Chain A
Amino acid sequence: MKLNPARLSKKDLAPFLKGLAKDYDLYAPVRLTDGVSVLKKVEPSDEIDLGSNPQKGLKEVFFPQWEVMFQYEAVERRSRVASMEAVPRERVVLGARPCDIQAISILDDVFVGKEFTDTYYLQKRQKTTVIGLACHEPCSTCFCSSMGGGPFHREGSDLLLIDLGDAYLVEFLTEKGKAFRKNEFLKKATAKEMALAKEIEGQASKKTNASVPVGGIDKKLDQMLESPLWNRIHEKCIGCGACTLLCPTCHCFDIADEALDKGGRRVRNWDSCLFPLYSLETSGHNPRPSGRERTRQRLMHKFNYFPKNFKKIACVGCGRCILYCPVNFDIRHAIEMIQKEEGATAL
């Protein structure tokens, strides 16, 4: 049964969170310094920053950059091992953007696959309710609409907030979300407010760039492994990992043992295909010896290998890689260059 949306006054946001904190661990975007925000675990008293999409978004709630898998210690000539996958409390994420939420469906394909399930990811995923925040002011670097999403994309959110000015309209989208309908701070929304939300949605959708030409790019790339395009496209890339680490869909990791004298822990850390070390083999040989191969990998994985494996492109158009690249490598231009490349027609 579809529930009518509710209304959450902005004045009630703090008490709303305080109430939730009794039953849930809270995650929300917070400002670390002027211009830099991350979505992280918060206390209800923390100041939440819903103003812009944070540098580090929803991905970290389910797949932290630095995660302990298990730890061990030596106790009287034996070792005691403690696994760390359990998630003791239910979680609520507030204020994730639709692009980041769409990206989670991409991560689900990887971590909750038919053959293999990643328990660390799955436990967090099952215990989390996602309250999305629709983008009423998308940026010029946003191209979610080209990637099958949009500023009001609802898939993946349990609840969606729409900013009406002095209040949020709250849509109940899943069973998990509907469990919130009796929350004391969620009031009945008026027909006028619902109409206003529709209007804001219409305006926002017009603003995002739907013209990034990704149609058929996977097929096109099938023919392009040895294309001369790669000799040029990577030139300006300095080989840092900012784009991949901040990307909501990039999910490569490296497992390491942090060993101390009488104990230690096994951790997994985010990794990046743009780092030379990523593909360096024990022998000293590196099958991706230069930026050409590494940039190609980044783009091929998103636009060719991933679609082959999971029938979807591993990019949601959030624009972070464009915004935070130190040398202005623009993935939209890379897509255009790939599509324009001649002599690489689909079979």
Chain B
Amino acid sequence: MSVTELHAARRARRRKRADLRAHGEPQRWATGGALMLGVLLILGFLLLVLWNGLATFTPGPIAVVHLANGTVLAGEPTRAEAFEPTDETLATLPPDWQERIQAEHGLASRTLYRVGNYDLYGEDFRWVADYEIRAVEHPGDVVFVERAEWGPFVGRFARIELAGTSVAAKDVSADALEEAHRRARERREEIRHVEREQIGAVNREMERLRLELRRAELAHGPGSEAASRTAARVEPALAELQREYDELAARAAELRAEDSRHRVTLEDVNGTPKELLLSEIVRYYPANAIGPFGALGIYASRWWEFLSDEPREANTEGGVLPAIFGTAAMTLLMVIAVAPLGVVTALYLREYARQGRVVSLVRISVNNLAGVPSIVYGVFGLGFFAYTVGASIDQLFYPERLPAPTFGTGGLLWSSLTLALLTVPVVIVATEEALAAVPRSIREGSLACGASRWQTIRSIVLPQAMPGIMTGLILAMARGAGEVAPLMLVGVVKLAPELPVDGVLPFVHLERSFMHLGFHIYDVGFQSRNSEAGKPMVFVTTLLLIVLIALMNATAIIVRARLKRRFAGSQF
């Protein structure tokens, strides 16, 4: 062959493109598909939470369902699903239904109705299969009544008693009823104010005086002079407070008597009556006749109630204000505790320590702290902080309250310290990054000007690293707000009687138990009487928690991005 022919042959043989196997298109699809699956999972999850969370508070229509067996039930349709009826049930159905079900591979469909009236029926929800339904109607006068106890009521107003006179419900105009309801709610607020706040203050003062007396007795002996002096001082004060208490109790009784003159009789769709005080009704609306603006109003008012009110009905209704409060209080305390420890350790690692064994030991410890499961921190917090340190504090400072523990059990302080220990690695890593980002030249310049090491750190390095430290603290807050496992052991409760931060001296009560949003989710979902009733509430709380954490993370990311931009051009 001639050279030209050889070259031509070679050119013909030369590959025009990479062969398929080397290009690896299936492998690209495999890796990309994995990524897309992950992204779809996240998106699906977020959408699920968003959809269910946002849709929970919308007021739905009430269907009055006439069943094939003659009974009637009324309820709000919650969801529908496919299910397999058992063979015995199939045998009892008419042939056209059996055919229809067979055509669907043995699947029929059923709807879950929220029938409410737990005190009458013993159940909140009922499944109705579509083959059981004879007729469905949506009458305009059926109301959905949210009550202070026993959950919602589905039915109609029968009679209304205002100021002692009883009238049939249809003779009372909607506006008059609304006005009476508003006044009843105000009265209820006032009763609550008298009982909770005023009587509560009197009780607290009496308890304080009694504890003072007991403390004197414990310290000096029951018959001693110091004890009798204290008793002489305390007893008249107690008598005065008792008088005040009686007065307030009388006022409360008076208000309650007035309240009980305003009642309403409801009846369910079968005519069973139920009598209530007008003030026990939280909200009511004619579910099939409200129209879009009314629905929007109810939706907004439910959201407002959720964010600002206390829970009802074992946490399955009402609001989560105490939980938000508790989460915020604990997270703030945690940040106050973790900031010094984290920043100091990072400073040590970056500025002070000589590279060598000690530094690697500290780094290994930080990595191990980061890897320890959160429940182990909870165990340590309970055993060491609460039962050991707390018990000693009780012996030293609160002996008069024993055997009831003050600090010797879980509470706000121990929870914050436990979570501070848990989130220290996050702060350390973020602070180290921030300190490393401060250019060396600035440090050297400061030292050249005659500043000492501490002066350099305090005046130059730390202020420049502050945004990074803030990022770390915000990330720690986000992490702490989501941890539930250690808190289950050290201080979170299902229902806290008081807020940990309130207007009573010393304002921040470190020994009180508190509620927490994450624990609220666990509790309502798994420890309520009816988890189906609790599910909507859990979705809304989940949405709130995710929104809070996302906000905190977004803030951290924005701060970090701005920090990067600031330092982009600061090399000199």
Decide whether A and B are members of one complex: no
